[in-house]
Structure 1
Amino acid sequence: MTIYIVDDDAAFRESLVWLLEGAGHIVSAYESGEAFLHACTDNKDSIQGCLLLDVRMNGMSGLTLQQELNQRAITLPVIIVTGHADVAMAVQAMKNKAVDFIEKPFDDDKLLRLIDRILGDLSQQSTIEKQQTQHIERWRSLTKREEQVAQLVIAGRVNREIAEQLGISIKTVEIHRSRVMSKMQARNIAELIKQHVDLQPSI
């Protein structure tokens, strides 16, 4: 993940790059909202991380850039960087879905902790989304009969009840049930139920 900086103050930009790279982050800095938008247009799919955004800049303001990102569905967490006189603008930015704002001058350690928390949340969310995608793909790999058996297993039916309801033999139920557990990569019924819960409302 990358920390993106958009600020028209070159000295401030350089100091932020130095701070963040020193903390082990990958950093990409831009002198204007227009320049950052251009980069987003060219590399939209690879934009991952968070954005440190100045509110008051020459040309496109931070608020305008934020609105453009929202319109383009670029869901990058935004931390607003503001001077004391810009707090009202920062509040407006929060209403536009910024995750937090910091006032200049700010405490370096506080900023680093904030960024670490945001990136940690993003990483966790990314892991959850990948798991959900895997669960959906596994569920869709089931045949119609396997899906029927899986639904009944999840509902708490035993093999005999499933066989009676579907009009098949208990042995056939056992075969389908085994295939369901294998395809869903579930070691037990609890894992199968958890995966099924994660699928809602995708199925």
Structure 2
Amino acid sequence: MKDSKPPLSFEQVVHIIDDDEAVLDSLSMLLDSVDIKNAIYPNAQSFLTAHEGNSIQQLSGCIVLDIRMPGMSGMECQQRLEALKCPLPIIFITGHGDVPMAVEAMKKGAIEFIQKPFREQELLDCIHHALTLNKAAQKRASHSLDVAQRCESLTAREKEVMERVVAGLLNKTIANELNLSQRTIEIHRANMMEKMRVKSLAELMTLLLTKE
């Protein structure tokens, strides 16, 4: 079995967790053959130990996880990962799966459940789907963080003005509500639009609506 070093967090990596050394090696070679970065772990605890602390929340890629393993099972690992807010989609593999187990795994967030033996292309298709989902989730998270940072750059007064602008109030009405001059509101509004990096109300609305 080849050595496994924790990959850099910004790379999309397929993390394979299985207690069967032959399975680890064959899946790693399969992914190597199609130029998909991967890391292998002989049990669930070794994966968790390799990514201790908040680093697990920064991982990119997906997890291929055996559901029946000595020590911590795949299902128990899934629960730990959920508690740690791990963002990686999970593909379960097993040679002993049954329908109730598959249903439980999917309800808890797994995106696929594959029984051994499986076709290599079937697994690759699932992995490509998982990586696509992960990339889309990362894009949404990055956008939300960017919008949140723009909002944090506003002063308390600019936030008050933005709330009222988004509610459709005119500058004159906002001035009356905040007991300020209309000119002062215009200045706060211009500063707010600049910090939010938008040029129109429609653009501001779109930005805030796509924050989550």
Q: Counterpart of 1:196?
A: 208
> Which of 13, 33, 47 in structure 1 is aligned with 2:24?
13
Contact 1:55 1:90 in 2 (8 A): no
User: What letter is aligned with 2:97?
Assistant: D
Q: Counterpart of 1:100?
A: 112
C-alpha deviations, 1:57-77, integer Å up to 9, x for none? Answer: 344432233333334443432
> Which of 164, 176, 179 in structure 2 is aligned with 1:164?
176
Going from structure 1 to structure 2, the CA distance change for 1:157 and 1:69 (only over 3 Å counts) comes to: closer
How far did residue 52 of structure 1 move?
A: 0.8
User: What letter is aligned with 2:133?
Assistant: D
Matches within 5 A, 1:10-89: 10-41=21-52, 44-83=56-95, 85-88=96-99, 89=101
- Using the alignment, how far apart are the partners of 1:173 and 1:71 within structure 2? 45
> Which of 138, 143, 157 in structure 2 is aligned with 1:126?
138
How far did residue 11 of structure 1 move?
A: 2.2
> Which of 112, 118, 122 in structure 1 is aligned with 2:124?
112
- Using the alignment, how far apart are the partners of 1:73 and 1:146 within structure 2? 33
C-alpha deviations, 1:124-180, integer Å up to 9, x for none? Answer: 111211221222222122222222221221111222332333333332222111101
User: What letter is aligned with 2:150?
Assistant: R
Q: Secondary structure at the match of 1:86?
A: coil
Q: Counterpart of 2:164?
A: 152
Matches within 5 A, 1:175-190: 175-190=187-202
How far did residue 17 of structure 1 move?
A: 0.8
C-alpha deviations, 1:58-98, integer Å up to 9, x for none? Answer: 44432233333334443432111122x42243333334432
Q: Secondary structure at the match of 2:16?
A: strand
- Using the alignment, how far apart are the partners of 2:21 and 2:56 within structure 1? 25
TM-score (norm: length of structure 2): 0.81
Name the structure with the higher helix share: 1
- Using the alignment, how far apart are the partners of 1:69 and 1:145 within structure 2? 40
**Which structure 1 residue ranges, 4+ long, deviate > 6 Å from structure 2?**
none
Unaligned runs of 5+ in 2: 1-11
User: What letter is aligned with 1:129?
Assistant: A
- Deviation larger for 85-94 or 5-14: 85-94
Q: Secondary structure at the match of 2:199?
A: coil
User: What letter is aligned with 1:131?
Assistant: H
Equivalenced residue count is 199
**RMSD across aligned positions (CA):** 2.4
Q: Counterpart of 2:4?
A: none
Q: Secondary structure at the match of 2:50?
A: helix
Contact 2:17 2:41 in 1 (8 A): yes
